[in-house]
Amino acid sequence: MRLELGHIIIKDVQFGDVSKVENGTLYVNKAELRDLLLQDDHIAEINIELAKPGESTRITPVKDVIEPRVKVSGNGGIFPGVKNKVKTVGEGRTHVLKGAAVVTAGKIVGFQEGIIDMSGVGAEYTPFSKLNNVVVVIEPKEGLTQYEYEAAARNAGLTAGLYLGELAKELTPDEIEVFETKPLFEQANEYPELPKVGYVYMLQTQGLLHDTYVYGVDAKKIVPTILYPTEVMDGAILSGNCVSACDKNTTYHHLNNPIIKNLYAQHGKEINFMGVIITNENVFLADKERSSDWTAKLTEYMGLDGAIVSQEGFGNPDTDLIMNCKKVEGKGVKTVIVTDEYAGQDGGSQSLADADKAADAVVTGGNANEVITLPPMDRIIGMLDYTDTIAGGFAGSLKEDGSIVAEIQIITGATNELGFNKLTARTY
């Protein structure tokens, strides 16, 4: 599959009488977008606000982040199986509002939603502080279950992302990136002298608001399978989970997966990038055994020499990570695992809940238990009344002056396990 991503660079966002993109500015008709989102009868009220880099603004509790995109040519549409028909995507031309995002916020769904600060020390821990954000604050109708509320919030974010993405359909991109992966045997023969490398993409699927969707299907119901990398860039994988904010893969992360982009960057130079194996993270041992067996089998079937394995979440999924690593290595395929750490506030505790000698090549996104002080902000989009109980917070986290003392796991994307962050650690 060959996919062209046409980037329309967004340098500013403003409200306007007409939604449009002009001279690098995204103009949003607030009333029109609000009316569109209020068509969902699960939502009582919608408030739309703008948050720009460098502002003294705190967005919380953050549920998801979505990059506006639109299909210009090729099969299907963005977010297939959810917002468009179930068509295989990943080819043709897709336009992207690069530098803009939709952020969903509102009353807390679970206990693991996070914070985006647009300035100050907290802004350095999240990539979303660098974006021009259209924030959709959702007020659910009374009586909704957590699952109904999460689904309504997810749908609102995707709808807003499509609404803004459509503004780019007829525009001329500022730049175009091209990505291509060929059918398996053809791809293997293209660079026979280079090591064949694949990507094992672990998806959070533990249920209880810990879900990810593939072509609209809850990924806990799948067995591991192979995707073209370009399918991911067209919205085949969507976030639907409320795991700890620091290492949750938002929909924006999936659309812009840096492991995929970096493998493409090395393709034809140092490696032959063969494709993506998606697998789930399970609760029961039998399911973990099944998925890790299938994952290892697929690396063998693809004839891989090496694989990168990325995790989402922590604790229980550490076992899925290590099982994948151990079994893939058992097939003679070298692995590098990408994770983060929960090593205690002093950094002295065991970083992962599971381990194996096969996991001898590890990239970490940092220690999520590190404590940070976030300064007060002039403007709050959302609400702070949950701060002491959210994952990463504790009794007394929210101070009288509006500052927050908490672990960095409270910050959206701080220790992301795709490497979409600044933190890591090295052994000397």
Residues recognised as catalytic: 242
What is the distance between the alpha carbons of residues 264 and 29, in angstroms, rounded to a whole number? Answer: 37
Q: Would you say 275 and 184 are in contact if contact means Cβ atoms under 8 Å apart?
A: yes
Query: For 43, what's the count of Cα atoms within 13 Å in the CB-facing half-sphere?
Result: 25
Q: Which residues contact 205 (CB under 8 A, 6 or more apart)?
A: 211, 212, 218, 219, 220, 280, 281, 282
Helix (H, G, I), strand (E, B) or coil at 363: strand
Encoded tokens for 354 = 């599971």
Comparing C-alpha atoms, which of 420, 367, 392 is closest to residue 112? 392
Which CB contacts under 8 angstroms, 24+ apart, belong to 169-174? 169/70, 169/72, 169/95, 171/8, 171/21, 171/95, 173/6, 173/7, 173/8, 173/95, 174/7, 174/8, 174/9, 174/98
| Residues constituting the chain | 428
Q: Would you say 174 and 100 are in contact if contact means Cβ atoms under 8 Å apart?
A: no
335-366 CB burial, b ≥16 within 10 A, e <16: bbbbbbbbbeeeeeeebbebeeebbeebbbbb
What is the distance between the alpha carbons of residues 51 and 59, in angstroms, rounded to a whole number? Answer: 8
Residue 367 burial by CB count (10 A; 0-12/13-18/19+): exposed, middle or buried? buried
Residue 335 is inside which H or E element, if any?
strand 334-341
Residues forming beta bridges with residue 106, ordered by sequence position = 138
Residue 166 burial by CB count (10 A; 0-12/13-18/19+): exposed, middle or buried? middle
What is the distance between the alpha carbons of residues 185 and 200, in angstroms, rounded to a whole number? Answer: 19
Q: Would you say 57 and 49 are in contact if contact means Cβ atoms under 8 Å apart?
A: no
Q: Would you say 377 and 57 are in contact if contact means Cβ atoms under 8 Å apart?
A: yes
